[in-house]
Copies of this chain bind each other. A is one copy, B any other.
Amino acid sequence: MKPPAKAELRRHSIAAELIAVLVAATNGQPRVMTIDSGNALPSGPFELGHRSLQSGLRDWVEQQTRHPLGYIEQLYTFADRDRAGDDAHRVISISYLALAREGQAESADKATWRNWYDYFPWEDHRDGTPPALPEIIVPQLNTWAKAADNTLIRSERQQRTAVAFGLDGHSWNEELVLQRYELLYEAALVEEAHRGRVKNPTPSVFGPAMAADHRRILATGIARLRAKIKYRPVVFELMPPTFTLLQLQRSVEALAGRLVHKPNFRRLVEQQELVEETGAMTADMRGRPAKLFRFRHDVLAERAVAGTKLPVSRA
């Protein structure tokens, strides 16, 4: 079979949308760029004038947020009919993960940086397991699991819940952000599962919904970033030119949503030769002044795609 002719291709035309999960890490908190008062991610249609998907994305984000993009990586392409929102005009959503340092310049469209745990309160385990997990979320998921009429579906739901939320024997895996969100969606605990129906008046424990499936895309981005910081030195895209090892550690912890062992973190960073001293020290800090480091940009060339791992302990 030959590729279809041009005329035939056009007949199947469909709109394509570009969506960005733009992440920063500021003062030890993970941040995500939103528009529309925190209700949506920056996005816009892919147009014939765009040179490439990436440049189209840059255009839209910089126009909507006046914030430049640094590192960019493709996340996923969605086209689910049932999740699109109200009616079914077909749109393909091509999502990207973008990393940057938080700047000022919030502009039109009510572009604002938000703490991403506003949208996923159950994902932040830096101060231990959030109380809402054992007290509210897990019980409600269990109720949902037991509500299945079929024994098979019931045990499958319980199995998935246990793996995703680290129950009976399983340990918490911070990378399963998307699986957890999908479970909450299936269990209709999250507001966007009721789209079109009753508006849930209690945002509290489950966080606020976002437009269309933007919260799912955000979950995808967080999951990808949490996985990636372990084997690629992407954190440095989020750091200022010069930083202390503790600041670096705090950024990693912010993204991972869990604490790491300080001595081991330092050991790994130094033995991997990811950073070099600037010679300067911090001042105006509370404790003992710390050495300032900068990222060794040449390692990007040297090891390039190869393995460069930062620790995020598993227990």
Interface residues of A (CB under 8 A from B): 1-4, 6, 8-10, 12-17, 35-36, 40, 43-48, 51-53, 64, 74, 76-81, 89-92, 94, 108-109, 156, 159-160, 163-164, 173, 175-176, 179, 211-212, 301-306
Shortest Cβ distance from residue A55 to the other chain B in the assembled complex, whole angstroms? 10
A217 to chain B, nearest CB (A): 14
Grouping DSSP codes into helix (H, G, I), strand (E, B) and loop, the A interface class, with mixed when no group exceeds half, is mixed
Instruction: Give complex CA distance A193, B9 in Å.
Output: 25
Q: How far is the CA of A15 from the CA of B81 in the complex (A)?
A: 17
In Å, the complex CA distance between A74 and B78 comes to 10
Query: Is the pair A4, B163 in contact by a Cβ cutoff of 8 Å?
Result: no
- Taking a contact as CB atoms closer than 8 A, the residue among B1, B15, B176 that contacts A305 in the complex is B176
Contact A36-B1, Cβ < 8 Å, known A13-B14, A14-B14, A74-B77: yes
Q: A12-B16, A52-B79 are in contact. List 7 more A-B contacts (CB 8 A).
A: A4-B45, A10-B89, A46-B79, A48-B90, A51-B81, A160-B304, A163-B304
Point out the residue from B43, B91, B94, B160 that lies within 8 Å of A77, measured CB to CB: B94
The contact of A163 among B2, B43, B108, B302, by CB within 8 Å, is B302
Are A48 and B14 neighbours in the complex by a CB distance under 8 Å? Answer: yes
Least CB distance, A69 to chain B, in whole angstroms: 17
Chain B proximity of A71: nearest CB distance (Å): 17
Complex CA gap A301/B160 in Å reads 7
A74 CA / B74 CA spacing, docked (Å): 11
Q: Are B35 and A1 in contact (CB under 8 A)?
A: yes
**Option from B2, B12, B74, B78 in Cβ contact (under 8 Å) with A47:** B12
What is the chain B residue whose CB lies nearest that of A111?
A: B1
**Residue in B91, B108, B173, B304 whose beta carbon sits within 8 Å of that of A9 in the complex:** B91
- In the complex, the answer to whether B77 meets A3 with C-beta atoms within 8 Å is no
User: Is the beta-carbon distance between B79 and A48 smaller than 8 angstroms?
Assistant: no
A275 → chain B closest CB, angstroms: 21
Query: Which residue of chain B is the closest to A51 with respect to CB atoms?
Result: B81
CA–CA, A302 and B171, complex, Å: 12
Q: How far is the CA of A301 from the CA of B89 in the complex (A)?
A: 35
- The 19 listed contacts between A and B (C-beta, < 8 Å) are A1-B35, A1-B44, A1-B109, A3-B40, A9-B89, A10-B15, A12-B46, A13-B13, A14-B46, A52-B81, A53-B92, A77-B94, A92-B92, A156-B301, A163-B306, A164-B304, A173-B305, A175-B305, A176-B305
